[in-house]
Amino acid sequence: MSNFFSLESPFYKFMSRLADMLKLNILWLFAGGVAEMFIIQLVLAFSGLGAYQLISYIPLVMVGPATTAAFHITLKMVDEQEGYIAKAYFQAYRENLKKGTIIGIIFLIAVYAIWMDFQFFNAAEQLNQSSIGYLIVGILASVLAFMHLIYAFPLQARYENTVINTLRNSFSITIRYFIKTIFLFFISALLVAFFIWNNVTMFLGILIGPATLMLAISGFAIQAFRLIEYANRETEEQGHSEEE
């Protein structure tokens, strides 16, 4: 029984990781403006100011650096190198404030544009008008957004680069490791489906859902990053050998 509760036991490691995920998720919810958005919406609703709900989305401007900082932690979790969660999180948040914000705004604009396109599709369907164009545009936009953004935040968390090159590199990694990325898509979809399955899983999703999704993406991303880093090292070594 003493081994079951020892610091090296699987139970202790699981509970420690679960606690870290909970901390990280709470940090992301508040630093990314998600918690503030819901708080503002509640205040507006109780104040009879529901017409001004658009104001509640302003805090989401900070979702970019918050997500980048979260990926900084989850990438370390995959390598089992994480230390103090809060200290490392806020350090990464400050370091990625500018570029993370830009990527986050691009992400929000992409999501909103795709959502609007499908709203137009639904409206056209209800009016018995031609809607196939909206459907095609929505699907293509979703695929392109996914390819450019799925690895963007992990890349920003791990490497120093321009925003444009980060988005391009995300697209390139998606193409280069297409099968892995498709598998990642289905894993992510299953996680989202699980966390919205019922009230119990939705509560669990609020507690650790986003952090769990980012940890899953990090597991796939770190494999691609290591393969690319290894290939780059081999290329550099071959270049040095030819010079000698």
Which of the four pLDDT bands, split at 50, 70 and 90, describes residue 8? low
Q: Is the pLDDT of residue 59 over 70?
A: yes
Q: Give pLDDT tens digits for 191-238.
A: 999 999 999 999 999 999 999 999 999 999 999 999 998 888 876 666
Integer angstrom CA distances of residue 188 from 146, 183, 218 = 12, 9, 11
Q: Is the pLDDT of residue 3 over 90?
A: no
Q: What is the mean pLDDT of residues 86-113?
A: 95
What confidence score (pLDDT) does residue 93 get?
A: 96
What confidence score (pLDDT) does residue 243 get?
A: 56
**Residue 208 DSSP label:** H
Q: Give pLDDT tens digits for 167-182.
A: 999 999 999 999 999 9
**pTM (two decimals):** 0.89
Query: Which residues are CB-neighbours of 157 under 8 A, at least 6 positions away?
Result: 68, 69, 71, 72, 75, 92, 96
Q: Are 134 and 124 in contact (CB under 8 A)?
A: yes
User: Which letter, b or e, does each residue of 76-86 get, where b requires 16 or more Cβ atoms within 10 Å of its Cβ?
Assistant: bbbeeebeebe
